[in-house]
Every structure is written in C-alpha cells, then in structure tokens.
A and B are shown apart, each in its own frame.
Chain A
Amino acid sequence: MDYTLREMMTLVAAREIRNEDIVFCGTGISMLAAMAAKNIHAPKCVMFFETGAIDAKLEEIPLAVADSRVMYHTSANGGLLDAFATMQNRITGDLVIGILGAAQIDKFGNLNSTVIGDYFSPTTRFSGSGGGCDVASFVSRSIIFMQHEKRKFVQKLDYMTSPGHLDGPDGRAKAGLSAGGPQLVITNMAMMRFDEDTKEMYLDGCYPGISPATVLEHMQFTVDISRAREIPPPAAHELKILREKCDPQRLIL
C-alpha cells in the first residue's frame, strides 16, 4: 500500500502514544500523530495544547494551537498558565508526553527553533521557543519530529532553545532540570532513541528501503547504528484511519 513519508512519520509517532498519556501537541503532524493514536489504539489518551485546551473534540484539524477548533467540547478552556503549570507540576507533568519539532538538533536531543547564524545578527530567524523550551524543560518524555538533513542534525546548535539531555548523562541534573528528556527522534527516514547510559542519540530503526548508511549521510554527527532494525510500514488500517478520520481535507498530510 502506498504511503507518504509524512504519513509514515505521523504513524510511527502515533505508535509511541499510550492510553495512559496526556499528549502535549504542537501544530501540524504532532497533533495529527496524537489524533491518529487516539483513533487507532489509544482512545483514552488526552490531547493537550499549551494554549490551555484539554481533551478537545477535534472535528476538524486545527491550523494553530490557538485555532478555535481546539476550544470545542473540551474538559476545560483555561490559559497558558494552566497549561504549563500542568507540565511543571510533577504530579500531572509525569503523565505528559511532549511532541516537539525544531530547525536543528544535536546528538543529545537539544533543539534550536530560534535562529540560524549568530543570535545577534542571524541569517535566518525562526518563530522562537513558544512553549517548546517549557515542554522540553518540564516533561519526562518527549518525541521530536525532524526532517533528516545534514544542516539540521548538527555538531553544534546555533542557539539552544529547548533542552534535551544538554551535555550528556548528568546534563539535566547539573543544570537543575527534572529527570527525563527526549526519548525519540522521528524523521522522514528513521527513528532514533537515546542511549540510557550516554544519553547520545542512536539509530533505533530505518524506514523500509532506507539504509543506516543513508541515514548517516544526512547528519553532521555519527550515531551508533548497531541497534537499527527495519521499522514496519504503516498498516492498511492505520493509513485508512489517518486519511479518512484524522485529516480528510489533507490540511496537514
């Protein structure tokens, strides 16, 4: 069955979401991944936006986390203070899995979504942290979406917007952050996890037809590929639900 890489990425992420998760969603495929999980295997998982919307009934795809579509049929319509407190508070925060994206990532899962070039005279300016830095600081588990390109998997970030494992195993603890950090990087080629001991990224699996060597060619730094497996392609029922129930208008896919 034909599928796009964007569909693959969405479904790979969806598979990581459990029934017991509160899913912090951004715009785009991150919310689509949560919608897919909810419709496929985790009906009880709770979608949650930094704008303060909890457990919205998404009859249509929101085009921003402040889209009025996230306000419909929610458990509560609060504000930013409520949303971030829910993540910073360990009682509820430990239930949250964050989904993030960025312009650059390093081997410890630190993210840049602020600038390319010098911070004080950037060649490219991006939107900035938004809630990204907050989520990355607070939640114990997160999934990162990336395009697999050499300029994006970098030796050194031009600006560290959101903390991953910082400089390694003790990075978060030394800085004063709570335990946890990124778990998973999902790209248009592969899926990476972080080694339990070194907190460095390693290749967990490649998409069908993509070799570990190809993956490495698209990164500035090398990662362990010894644990790589082939990731199963989307199943027909997954694709059907994603296409027909989650994004029938193809607004994101």
Chain B
Amino acid sequence: MQTRDVLAWRASVAGSGVMGEPAARGRFGEYGGRYVPESLAEACREVDEAFRGAWADPGFRGALTRLLAVHVGRPTPLTPAWRLSGELGVQLYLKREDLTHTGSHKINNALGQALLATRMGRRRLIAETGAGMHGVATATAAALLGLEATVFMGERDMERQSLNVFRMRLLGAEVVPVTSGSRTLKDATSEAMRHWVGTTDDSHYCVGSVVGPDPYPWMVREFQRVIGEEARVQCAAELVTGVPDHVVACVGGGSNAAGTFAGFVDTPARFVGVEAAGGAGASGGRLGVLHGFRSLFLQDDEGQIIEADSIAAGLDYPGVGPEHAHLRDLGRARYVTVTDDEVLGATARLARTEGILPALESAHALAWVIRAAGSGELPAGSTVLLTLSGRGDKDVSTLKELL
C-alpha cells in the first residue's frame, strides 16, 4: 500500500512473540524486570501467580467481562470523525474510551486488578495517581467490590485536580497527599510503593499504567487489551480496508496505547505512540531503572530522574512502559512528541468539529494526526484509528485558563 511506502519507518518485525507474554524474568527485550526492594519481591511473585491463574480462568474472565459490560459500559463505540476527517483528508476513527464509566480507559485496568485483589483475598487497594483518573478509577472499583482504597497523590496535583480529589473521597477512598520531591505523579508512585512495602499482607498495589515491576506492565496491558480487541472487530466492520493504516494513541506510561496496539499487533497497521514534548520517555529518555522496571527515562547528566512537565497531568511521567521501549527498538511502533500548543489546538478543534471534548492526554494523539495529515506524513485517504483515552471534563478549568 502506498501509505506505508511513504513513511520512513523500519519494516515492522513479524508478530511472533511481540506483545505476547514477556520473556523470562519479565523482560520485553532488554526492558522490564522486577527491580523491587527484597520486601516486595514476594508480593510481586504473588501478583504474578494470581494473575496467571486468573487470566487462565474462564470464570475470572467472564466475571470481568460482565463487570466491564454492565458497570463500565463496554464495548465503547468506534466513532467516525466525519467532519474532521473531511478537513484533514484522512479517515479518522475514534475509539471512545472517554465514554467509559469514570471517563477514561483507566477503569479497565483498575477493575481488572480490583477483581484480582478480591481473588487474592486482599481487602484494600493502593494506587498512585497524577491527574486523578486512575485514582478515581481505583476508588470506583474498590467501592464496587467492597474494598478499601488508599490513593497517593502529589500535593501539587491535588491542587491542580481538586475536584478529582473530592470525587475519590466521595467514593470512600483515602487520598494521601505526597509532599516529597516534585509533589507530582513520580513521587506519588514512589510513595505508593513505600506504602505497599508495609502492607503487602492485606493490600494490593493497583498500578495505573504499563509500568512498575513485572508482572504489572504485562498485566495492565492485558487488562487494557480489551480496547484493541474491540477496536479490531469494529474496524473490520466499519472500514473498507478492514484494518486501519495507522493506530495512534497517547503515551504517558503507555497503557491505553499498549492495550490498543495489542489488538492490531498481527496486522500491518503502523503504530504511533504520541508523547508530550515535556514527558517524552520513549522519544527522549535513556536507559534506566525506576519504580521497579528497566526502561527509558528522562534523566540528567548525573543519572537523576528529570521531572516531566506537560499540560496533561496524566502524561507527566518521566518514563515509559518497558514494552514500548521494546516496540521502539523493534521498529514495530514509532514514538513522537507534540507540544502543549498543538494539544490545545487539537482539543478545541475536536470540540468544534465533532462535539467531543477530549482529555488533554488524548488530545496529544489527535495533535499528531492533525500535524501529520497537514505535512503529508499521513497521505490523503489513510485510515487512522485513534484511541480517545478519556474525556476532557477534568481539564476544563485548565483550558479555561489557557484558551
């Protein structure tokens, strides 16, 4: 197909093994692993064992599928963005994770892990959150299944997202302010891990993206796989070509992208992960270890982790999930960045053309599509599947200040 010839990407590697289980010791290529304090080694092993068991158990999967249907509202629709497509000259389809209960794809994973926690006999969930979406999702899943929830959130993020803080508390969760470091997601993650060390016996750490020690990157991707699998079937029904030429998603830790890509890994679709210019782990990071996994992280010359800085709190993470680092090495996915200004423009444009107010995180993916369609990087007539990871309601006050 013409589309693919135009693009200066490495030929994609055959799918065998790609986006399957990680290799021995939780590896995706050279990334991943379980770099945790000895005190968490056993807890990680237990999560791994429990997840393997659950994922192989039709009873568990059936229960999760039903919860996702009756509580979360899955399947989410695939929306053809007709008016914007007309303007851009490409055929853009949106996978609508913004329509899930709580408003972002985070709930797919939170509910999966909450169900796993009940299976493991845990009575409490621990979570970190940045924008608050994973915190709300975790608090929601906990309420639904009768678990307790403790959510760690940077003090600065709590100020920026005070309504989400209140939402979590209404849902019965305890929200713990994190005052160390940059007082954002990175520090909240550290604090959640510290807390887990002391509570492994009764608490499950519900990591919010495809990051953390093995089995989290794999497990979270599997819980998010539903996005890609649904989209695959929907594309087959809606697209003339059956499979889109491009699959695009924003990448913070990378869970919505991983879940989406997983559904198309055996197709010729080209994967694009879009990072924030100020939080480009995959595009601008170097090899490191943080929060239990080996991957690409933003670091200074001394090897200290650099704080990410983007308009989208959910992308303010200095690293990227290990599988994305691996997909990048393989050439199976490409990682690009967009600026805050492009993101604001894309947000307003989708609102006006399609009546959809995307989360600023999701608008990153759109900003790239708009740029690439304009530059010819996406040839006219290309079909593009974009995962709209969340709704923009949470961002309205930010937008109000900036637009």
A associates with B: no
Residue positions of B touching A, CB distance < 8 A: none
